[in-house]
Amino acid sequence: MNGVILYSGLSQLDGSPIVCIATDRSHNVKTGPMVQTWIMRSDVPPEEAVNDGSDSSVCGDCKLRGIVTKLPNGEQVIRFRGCYVFVGQAPQRVWQAYQAGEYGIAVSVATFAGTMVRIGSYGDPCAVPLAIWKNLARCCAGHTGYTHQWRDRRFQDYRTLLMASVETEHDAQVARAMGWRTFRVAVTGELPAKGEFHCPASAEQGYRQTCESCGSCDGTADKPERASVVIWPHGPPAAVKSFYRLVRGDSRQIDHRQATTEADRLLLAELSSLGRSSASALASRVGRGTQATATRLWHLRQMGLARRVGRGQYEATEAIA
């Protein structure tokens, strides 16, 4: 990936060495072609940092990091990781390219003029000085960004650029009372509360828009009365299951058949017509990403509307009226 170093220095979260790198626009089906920014330990590979807990330098106390567990052989691994970012892919590749000296220091952020930027594709933006992000936001066409550090008094000024990332309605209320707009991950099937709207770039909304075209997750811009955003748990099925375990205390999902979306109905209708299908084959028929389709199938299985038959094959068990 082509990219530049936006910041290299100490983390504002714990003082450890970190680096922030901006890379080319991605092909992510949810975000659209946005410039991505990666916040990582500069001295520890992302996969290793996740497993030994040193990712706290870039993720703070986010509960979705999972739980570091020591195995009998002394090896440390991560359990119940609820974060949708798979660090073994893009973050690891960016870190390796950084170690190989492939990225130069950004001379000017003017090169980002006219682009949409994703602040914190991996890592919490509060680890990086606010001035870096403000300078970038002044030049780019727009941005999105989220933080789990919204309770910390040191980072209250970040609310003009970032959404408070929350997992419960209570936390959403607290964050909004502090002047933040919120991005809430709700229980599957839960409808938006007052003052919220459902993310139009989500799998359950059928990807009606991309983050690039929506652009709503850009903080308050000194207007905290703007509506906040809600989304259902997303990412790999294992991460969704861990989200429930970490946030609610168990990995079981409740039956929310009345809250299924038009996108779900289309998915089940196609699955019914095929008899059985793999997630990838079904994704191509409904025009969605394979991972997003697999995640939605996992939700539908929890609701009793679909089931897995054989390796990687699914079939519908009940239609949605």
- The 3-class secondary structure across 155-218, one letter per residue, is HHHHHHCCEEEECCHHHHHHHHHCCCCEEEECCCCCCCCCCEEECCCCCCCCCCCCHHHHCCCC
Contact in structure between 264 and 286 (CB atoms under 8 Å): no
Does pLDDT of 10 surpass 90?
yes
Residues 151 and 276 in one domain: no
Which of 8, 12, 30, 34 has the alpha carbon at shortest distance from 21? 8
Give the DSSP H or E segment for 10: strand 3-10
Same domain, 89 and 176: yes
Asked if pLDDT for residue 16 goes beyond 90, the answer is: yes
Q: How far apart are CA 199 and CA 209, in angstroms?
A: 9
Please report whether residue 190 resides in a domain: yes
% of the chain with per-residue pLDDT over 90: 49
Query: Does 133 lie in the same domain as 53?
Result: yes
Residue 289: pLDDT over 80: no
pLDDT tops 80 at residue 308: yes
- pLDDT tens, residue by residue, 153-181: 999 999 999 999 999 899 999 999 999 99
- Same structural domain for residues 8 and 127? yes
My answer on whether 225 and 259 are in the same domain is no
Note whether 44 and 80 are same-domain residues.
yes
> What is the band of 1 on the pLDDT scale with cuts at 50, 70, 90?
low
pLDDT band for position 255 (cuts 50, 70, 90):
very low
Which percentage of the chain shows pLDDT scores above 70? 93
pLDDT at residue 295, rounded to an integer: 74
Is 254's pLDDT higher than 50?
no
| Structure confidence at residue 86 (pLDDT) | 84
Is the domain of 265 the same as that of 140? no
Does the pLDDT at position 315 exceed 50?
yes
Considering all CA atoms of the chain, what is the largest pairwise distance in Å, rounded to the nearest integer? 58
Phi, psi torsion values for 175, nearest 5 degrees: -65, -40
153 and 100 within one domain = yes
Residue 240 lies in a domain: no
Q: How far apart are the first and last CA of the chain?
A: 46
Q: Looking at the domain assignment, is residue 237 inside a domain? A: no
- Residue 320 in this model has a pLDDT that exceeds 70: no
Residues 183 and 215 in one domain: yes
Residue 312 has pLDDT above 90, yes or no: no
Torsion angle of alpha carbons 148, 151, 154, 157, nearest 10°? 80
How high is the mean pLDDT of the chain?
87
How many angstroms separate the Cα of 307 from the Cα of each of 64, 244, 271, 311? 27, 20, 11, 12
The domain of 285 spans 255-316
The yes-or-no verdict on residue 257 having pLDDT over 50 is no
Domain tally, the chain: 2
239/210: higher pLDDT: 210
- How crowded is residue 221: how many other Cβ atoms within 10 Å of its Cβ? 12
The answer to whether residue 106 sits within a structural domain is: yes
pLDDT band at 250; cut points 50, 70, 90: low
Residue after which a domain boundary falls, among 168, 198, 231? 231
Q: How confident is the model at residue 251 (pLDDT cuts 50, 70, 90)?
A: low
pLDDT at 252: 57
Residues 56 and 163 in one domain: yes
Query: Does residue 262 have a pLDDT over 80?
Result: no
52 falls within a domain: yes
Give mean pLDDT, residues 255-281: 78
Q: Among 172, 197, 231, where does a domain finish? A: 231
CATH number of the domain where residue 280 is located: 1.10.10.10
Q: What is the pLDDT of residue 202?
A: 87
Q: Which long-range contacts (CB under 8 A, 24 or more apart) does 199-202 make?
A: 199/229, 199/230, 199/231, 201/30, 201/31, 201/32, 202/30, 202/231, 202/232, 202/234
Say if 79 falls within a structural domain: yes
Using the structure block, give the residue that is written with the tokens 């933080």: 147
More confident residue, 318 or 190: 190
Looking at the domain assignment, is residue 124 inside a domain?
yes
202 and 270 both lie in a single domain: no
- Residue 158 placed within a domain: yes
Query: Is 64 a residue whose pLDDT tops 80?
Result: yes
Would you say residue 256 has pLDDT above 50? no
Least trusted range by pLDDT, from 14-18, 109-113, 128-132, 173-177 = 109-113
Of the listed ranges 152-156, 193-197, 253-257, the one predicted with least confidence: 253-257
CB crowding 160-181: b at 16 or more within 10 Å, else e: bbbbbbbbebebbebbbeeebb
Mean pLDDT of 133-145: 94
Of 26-30, 64-68, 162-166, 228-232, give the lowest mean pLDDT range. Answer: 26-30
Residues 227 and 259 in one domain: no
